[in-house]
Amino acid sequence: MGFGGRFELVRLRTGAWAVRDAVVGEVMHPGAGPGVEAWALYVEELQLGRLWSRVESGQQAEAVVWDVGLGAGANALAVLRSASTRRVRLRMWSFDVALEGLAFARRHGDRLGYVEGMEAVLDRFLSGGGFVGRVGEAEVEWRFVEGDFSRWLVEDAAEVSAPDAVAYDPFSPARNPALWTVEVFRRLYRRLDPGRACVLATYSRSSRVRVALLVAGFYVGRGCAVGVKEETTVASNCPDRLERPLDGAWLARLRRSTAAEPAWLSGDPPGALRPSTWDLLMRHPQFAGCGMGSEPAPDPRGGD
């Protein structure tokens, strides 16, 4: 199937329109729809208001956002919309293997409400692979990085400023397995500036993904409910940024799960937590003093 037919509009139960990638077989923002989900998870949960305030008050010169999985652009446009009301300098890097999802969204902007008012920015971005200029009050540099994000982290990431916020929105682990591994989160964690707090938000609430983030070095917490999801996930290199950190009760459930062992590399199958992974969690400062034992005791009846 050519790109002409790759994407389609689908109507969600909420009445909102969303974009489906027919080749991958997944809808982008399938719960509440792109406008609502992007704002809840990748503006509010990423604490962008706080970030803009730091820039406005001169505590830092600019804000750096990484938008992993640009797709149909709902998250990137939500970030721009949020910044546009503030006197900030924003650098945003959007990562994807292709721009066609965004071009599709631009063509169907009348139905996808989140495009409204951003048409001129999108046209410049799509024609030149980037946008430099004002969006409302904000001074913006928005760049596109084409290709595999996990490979880019190894080969080229040093050229780009460390992020203050990461909107982490690949397709599911079933479709994009390489982007949910311990390996990729470790690479990402190493790219953070240890002296600067960074918040990462993602729609997944899977134990495997949360363990992968923890093992990579992040502090991990529960994120807001959005759409049909009761919970999402927020991670940071700074524990103060988590309003609801995962705790001993979460660890106790993890111990009983038969599917919590993370994918260390792409394609690793799920299974009960290995003793060596449990030890890593026990040594994580997030769980210091939580009083758990040193051996996981998988219960075959437990679930993820």
Ligand X SMILES: C[S@@+](CC[C@H](N)C(=O)[O-])C[C@H]1O[C@@H](n2cnc3c(N)ncnc32)[C@H](O)[C@@H]1O
Query: Would you count residue 71 as binding ligand X (CB under 6 A)?
Result: yes
Query: Would you count residue 149 as binding ligand X (CB under 6 A)?
Result: yes
Q: Which is nearer to ligand X, 105 or 220 (CB)?
A: 105
With beta carbons less than 8 A apart as the criterion, state whether 241 and 199 touch.
yes
Measured from the CB of residue 38, what is the shortest distance to ligand X in angstroms?
5
Q: How many helices (H) and strands (E) does the chain have?
A: 10, 11
Q: Which is nearer to ligand X, 25 or 194 (CB)?
A: 25
Considering only residues 34 to 53 of the shown chain, the ones binding ligand X according to CB under 6 A are: 34, 38
Query: Would you count residue 95 as binding ligand X (CB under 6 A)?
Result: yes
Query: Would you count residue 97 as binding ligand X (CB under 6 A)?
Result: yes
Measured from the CB of residue 211, what is the shortest distance to ligand X in angstroms?
21
Q: Which is nearer to ligand X, 181 or 277 (CB)?
A: 181
Stretch that binds ligand X, among 52-60, 163-171, 186-194, 221-229 (CB under 6 A): 163-171
Q: Strand 138-146 vs strand 130-135: parallel, antiparallel, or unpaired? A: antiparallel
Measured from the CB of residue 236, what is the shortest distance to ligand X in angstroms?
20
Of 164, 169, 183, 261, which lies in the binding site for ligand X, with binding defined by CB under 6 A? Answer: 169
Stretch that binds ligand X, among 9-17, 147-155, 250-258, 273-281 (CB under 6 A): 147-155
Considering only residues 226 to 245 of the shown chain, the ones binding ligand X according to CB under 6 A are: none
**Contacts by 27-33, CB closer than 8 A, 24 or more apart:** 28/71, 28/72, 28/74, 28/101, 29/74, 29/227, 30/227, 31/226, 31/227, 31/228, 31/229, 32/226, 32/227, 33/227
Q: Is 96 helix (H, G, I), strand (E, B) or coil?
A: strand
Q: Which is nearest to 279 in space by CA: 267, 261, 266?
A: 261
Query: Would you count residue 66 as binding ligand X (CB under 6 A)?
Result: no
Q: Which is nearer to ligand X, 179 or 214 (CB)?
A: 179
Cβ-based neighbours of 220, under 8 Å, separated by 6 or more: 210, 213, 214, 233, 234, 235, 242, 245, 246, 286
Residues linked to residue 168 through DSSP beta bridges, in sequence order: 68, 202
* Residue 24, number of CB atoms within 10 A of its CB: 14
Query: Would you count residue 179 as binding ligand X (CB under 6 A)?
Result: yes
Interacting residues toward ligand X by CB under 6 A: 28, 34, 38, 69, 71-75, 95-97, 101, 148-150, 169-171, 176, 178-179
